[in-house]
Amino acid sequence: VDEIFARASVYTTECKPAFSGGDDVVISGEWTHPFPGGYFTSDYGPRPCPKTLKCTKEVANHNAIDLATGTGTGTAVAPTQMEITRAGGNDSDGDYPVFARQTAEPHYVISYWHCATGSHHVRTGQIVEAGTPICDEGITGNAGGRPHIHLQFNKPSASDTRYERYTTVDPEPILAANGVDLCPPGRDVTGPCQER
C-alpha cells in the first residue's frame, strides 16, 4: 500500500507522470535516511512564507524538503550511491551547496543546501555510498530559523552543478518507496510528521 501511494504522488491530476522517470520510483541499490537523527521540518510544495525570510517564489513554493536535528549539529549523508558533481564554494545567495548525481537509473540530481560554512565532507568527482557524510546542517544563504538541510531532488535532465527551480521533484515519495521513513515511529518530531 505504501508503495502504491508513493507512486501515485508522483503523477499529475491528469494521471500523467509528473516528471521523466516517474514510473521508476523504486530504484535499485542501498538506501538510507539522508539525515540520521534528524526530523522532517518542511514539506515539498506550497507553504506560508516564514517571517524571517525574503518571500521569494522558492520560499513560497518549497522545491525540496527540510531536515533538522534541533541542535544544529547534524550531518547530512548520501541517501544512496551517487557521484559528487559540485562541492565547495558558495553560490550568489551565500549558500554552500553540494550537488550529486545518483549513479543508478534514472540518475536524479540530489543537492544539499544551507550547509554550514566549511563543513563539506566530500569532493567533486568522488563516488559515495549510502550513508557517506556530505555536509553539516547550517543556516547559510536564504535560510531562516534554525540550522537545517534543504534536500532537493531534480529530474535527471537537470544541471548537476547549478540551481534549477523548474525541474524539482518531491524527494519524499522516492525515499519512501525505497524504504526510507522520514517520520520514524516513536520519535517526538515537529512539522510534516505531526500531520501524518
The H or E element spanning position 175 is helix 171-177
Q: For 52-64, what is the mean pLDDT?
A: 78
Contact 50, 5 (CB under 8 A): no
Give the tens place of pLDDT for each residue, 78-91. Answer: 999 999 999 977 66
pLDDT of residue 129: 97
pLDDT of residue 145: 79
Highest mean pLDDT out of 64-73, 87-96, 137-146, 182-191? 64-73
pLDDT of residue 191: 59
pLDDT of residue 19: 40
pLDDT of residue 156: 96
124 φ, ψ (degrees, to nearest 5): -60, 135
Q: Is 80 exceeded by the pLDDT of residue 15?
A: no
Hey, is 49 helix, strand or coil? coil
pTM score: 0.81
At position 82, the amino acid (one-letter code) is M
CA–CA distances in Å: residue 78 to residues 110, 112, 130:
9, 10, 5
Classify strands 109-113 and 98-102 as parallel, antiparallel or unpaired: antiparallel
Contact 170, 45 (CB under 8 A): yes
73 φ, ψ (degrees, to nearest 5): -120, 10
Sign, Cα dihedral of 188, 59, 3, 75 = negative
Q: For 137-159, what is the mean pLDDT?
A: 91
Q: For 151-180, what is the mean pLDDT?
A: 93
